[in-house]
Amino acid sequence: MMRRIQNQLIETTMFLLLVIVIFPFTLHAQMTARGLGMGGAYTAVARGVHAADYNPANLGLPDNVKFSMTIISAEAGIWNNAFNKEMYDKYLVEGADPETNQIYWDENDVENILDAIPNDGLNMFTNTSVKGFSFSAGRFAFSIRGTGNSFLSLDKTAFEIPLAGTKIGKTYSFNNTDGKGIGVGLVSFSWGQPMKVSFADHFAFGSTIHLIYGGGYAQTDYANFTIDNMVYGVNLNGDYKATYALGNLGWGLDVGAAAQMGKKWTLGASLSQLLGSIPWSKDMKVVEGFIKGDSINVENELDEEEDFDDDERDIAAFSTKLPVVLRVGCSYKEGDVLLAADYYQSFKESAWANTTPRISIGTEWQKVRWLPLRMGVILGGRMGFGTSFGLGLRLGSFVVDLGVMNQGFISPNNSKGMILAIGMGIDMQRKSNGSTKVSDFIHSP
């Protein structure tokens, strides 16, 4: 009897995990390698082909690059809110028996592991993004990108029962279980238009139109489960519902504005996905199931037909409205030092956006012109607190950038995950007299 219950729970859990992992992509998490190294503080700094990712209005500023091209730009990351590398090494590596390769934990170890998990559960995030052949020419930019995200939340009880066991008279809840995932491909067209204004030396307005192909969508609509552990039996009550689908062609619209005051200050703001949606019209499915049993004990087995049920059915096509994301940024250039700050805010909770505000602060040291060094700090958002660093390589017009962001401090042992990014491309800068200058990378992509 209990084995049947255990198998049903395992089957339900595995399905929920599959819903989250099968489409590990995000629409708004993409950062360039240079921007990642600066903690994501890149809205006022991005130029050329990468301006479309942050603020298309930057294409209309006078210091925008004459021509830029991305050969490859890739980003991948995974992080959580509970366990860092030091805990992983302590409990899963150093405690292994060299002969049997088994891990042994005492009561203190179990207590420390459970204390590391927040009361609202273990949250895990992944994001990936790959940009292929993309380019900018003057005020115009074209880009091709595949991008995505997944989010998984497991109730703390899922760790408490197997590690610490159960107690008579206690009710165990698994209601803090959730998961979302989405994957898309984007073809984007951007334009930045300069405008004369009285309040700034230079001002520009810009927009980006996205053609979006919905690769896959998965979401846990609800997942509830409770166990009442009584003296003479166990009460079970749980149900779940999940939706998944493949998509079709949709669209999105970004807008932005940028201003420069003198030669040192740049200000910018953008609204991503101000309009647009993705239609999901292929293989649309809903999976629902429940488990229920009263006073279950060794003499009272469940009737499987009455107390276990799961069902998969087709549903009508639907569309997903993209969450609007606000970016506000500024940058300041003094000698060989570039300083930047960003504010990031999504207005809807979803697989690819979080309503918790995010603040990024970053710097780039340009004393060695061909080897810029970067650092940054991020506060808020899904990562909570993160530190980053990066570097670039400028060989004439050829550009290579590397960036790393840790969830936590830069120290690897304190990291609860990380994001890695690399970018390679061509960057041809514009001198003030309009000619091309490849060595000035202050606003390179």
List C-alpha distances in Å: 393 to 50, 53, 188, 374, 402. 17, 21, 27, 12, 9
3-state helix, strand and coil shares in percent for the chain, rounded to the nearest 5: 15, 55, 30
Q: Please state the domain extents for the chain.
A: 2-82+117-437
Dump pLDDT digits (tens) for 78-132. Answer: 889 899 888 888 888 877 666 777 787 888 888 999 999 998 899 888 888 899 8
What's the rounded Cα separation, in Å, for the pair 421 and 404? Answer: 7
Pick 376 or 173 by higher pLDDT: 376
Q: What would be the CATH architecture of the domain defined by 2-82+117-437?
A: Beta Barrel (2.40)
- What is the C-alpha separation between 39 and 419, in angstroms, rounded? 11
Q: What is the pLDDT of residue 326?
A: 95
Tell me what pLDDT residue 298 has: 46
pLDDT at 305 over 70: no
Arithmetic mean of pLDDT, 321-342:
94
- What per-residue string of b and e applies to 19-55 under the rule 16 or more CB within 10 Å gives b? bbeebbbbbbbbbbbbbbbbbbbbbbbbbbbbbbbbb
DSSP state of 40: T
Segment 176-192, tens digit of pLDDT: 888 888 889 999 999 99
**Calpha distance 178→151 (Å, rounded):** 8
8 A C-beta contact, residue 87 and residue 412: no
When the pLDDT of each residue in the chain is averaged and rounded to a whole number, the result is 83
User: What is the pLDDT at residue 307?
Assistant: 58
Structure tokens at 245: 């689908």
From residue 306, alpha-carbon distances to 91, 167, 290, 301, 303 in Å are 42, 28, 10, 12, 6
Strand partners, 268: 258, 329
